[in-house]
Structure 1
Amino acid sequence: MQLAEDLWDSILSTPDEVPLNDEQKQELDRRLEMDRQNPNQGSTWQSVKQRLGLTE
């Protein structure tokens, strides 16, 4: 779990260095638009962690 967090933190610190192809960019745009249209759909990170037993 720590390794995944460390990897994610390294990506967040240099997001412009993560290469994306056009298909990946389109998918991210599609998902962002879905979130904008339905902001209450989905789960919060906190609730996901609780379901996975990662919080007390």
Structure 2
Amino acid sequence: MKILGVSLGTKNGNNDTMCRVALEAAKERGAEIEFIHLFDWDIKPCTGCVACSRGLVMGKG
């Protein structure tokens, strides 16, 4: 099992700590874990460019 912990609170604050503690408990039970803090990412709002769906084939599924 893979578990991703995502935090958006204060860097190294309570939210980060609680997320990491939960991830470590899951790791002890055999899970593969990863932690990310969203403030470390350069996330921009959607501009409506449709780049995310250009490669999709419509009508098949």
Into which bin does the TM-score normalised by the smaller protein fall?
0.3 to 0.5
Structure (1 or 2) with the larger CA radius of gyration = 2
**Higher fraction of strand:** 2
- What TM-score results when the alignment is normalised by the length of structure 1? 0.34
Higher RCO (CA-CA < 8 Å; seq separation 6+): 2
- What TM-score results when the alignment is normalised by the length of structure 2? 0.32
**Higher fraction of helix:** 1
